[in-house]
Amino acid sequence: MSTVPDTILLDLGGVLIDVDYHASARAFRELGHANFEQLYSKARQDHLFDGFEIGALSPGQFRDRIRDLLSPELSDATIDACWNAMLGSIPPARIDLLEQLRTRYRLLLLSNTNAIHVRAFNRIILRENGITDLKELFDGAYYSCEIGLRKPDREAFLSVLERHEALPARTLFIDDSPQHVEGARQSGLHAEHLDLTREDVHGLIKRLGLLS
């Protein structure tokens, strides 16, 4: 970056919490529903999932739609368990990294997520790290299902920054999805793609010299 950032905006899935986007499809497939993966993928989503991510559908409406598509016999608990199967761990070392970054930068989070996952990853961080709410770790944390906006749309980035009077030109955005990185750049932010096949967020932060 030619300009030193004063704000760091992070993604959640893949950056902070381990995610296996195929795990939910495997969980549904084990129940005999082999076509779930055609409905959902990391890069391209059915409108059902987009709508759930911006809060246009409630958890109950989402579950009912899954039953319509797959099987009326699926219980709420089964749907939630399969849907949450993609969520992994938030290692303590990443919590430590957030605490270090927050001493030097305004630290924000912007995640495309949904109400069922929010409850699930808060349970994960409580179980693994003793933290009751992920939002406690940030100066501001925003979920698409709560703000009605999602990446890579320009409005999502600018809405979050405006809430903190943060300038796009002084903000560094980190995400593991190339389309979100490109959306951030088109919105005037500096953005780095976290290629998880090459490094994790610790490696990227170190390579960029953000904590040197």
Q: Where are the alpha helices (DSSP H) in the chain?
A: 23-30, 36-39, 47-53, 59-69, 76-83, 92-102, 115-129, 144-147, 154-163, 178-186, 201-208
Surface-to-core class of residue 93, CB atoms within 10 Å of its CB (0-12 exposed, 13-18 middle, 19+ buried): exposed
User: What is the pLDDT at residue 40?
Assistant: 67
pLDDT at 4: 82
The residue type found at 175 is D
* Whether pLDDT at 133 is above 90: yes
Instruction: Report pLDDT for 43.
Output: 45
SS3 content of the chain, % helix, strand, coil (to 5): 50, 15, 35
Mean pLDDT of the chain, nearest integer: 94
Which of 16-25, 31-40, 178-187 is least confident?
31-40
Q: Measure the CA–CA gap between 205 and 174, rounded to whole angstroms.
A: 10
Nearest one of 200, 206, 166, 205 to 18, comparing CA atoms: 200
CA distance 202 to 206: 6
Distance of CA 123 to the CA centre of its chain: 15
- Indicate the SS3 state at residue 151: coil
pLDDT of 155 reads: 98
Task: Say whether pLDDT at 188 is over 90.
Answer: yes
Residue ranges and CATH numbers for the domains of the chain are 7-18+89-208 (3.40.50.1000), 23-86 (1.10.150.240)
Digit-coded pLDDT (tens) for 83-115: 999 999 999 999 999 999 999 999 999 999 999
Mean pLDDT, rounded, for 108-131: 97
Residues 173-201, mean pLDDT to the nearest whole number: 97
The answer to whether 120 touches 90, Cβ cutoff 8 Å, is no
Indicate if the pLDDT at residue 123 is higher than 60. yes
Q: How do residues 135-155 score in pLDDT, each as one tens digit?
A: 999 999 999 999 999 999 999
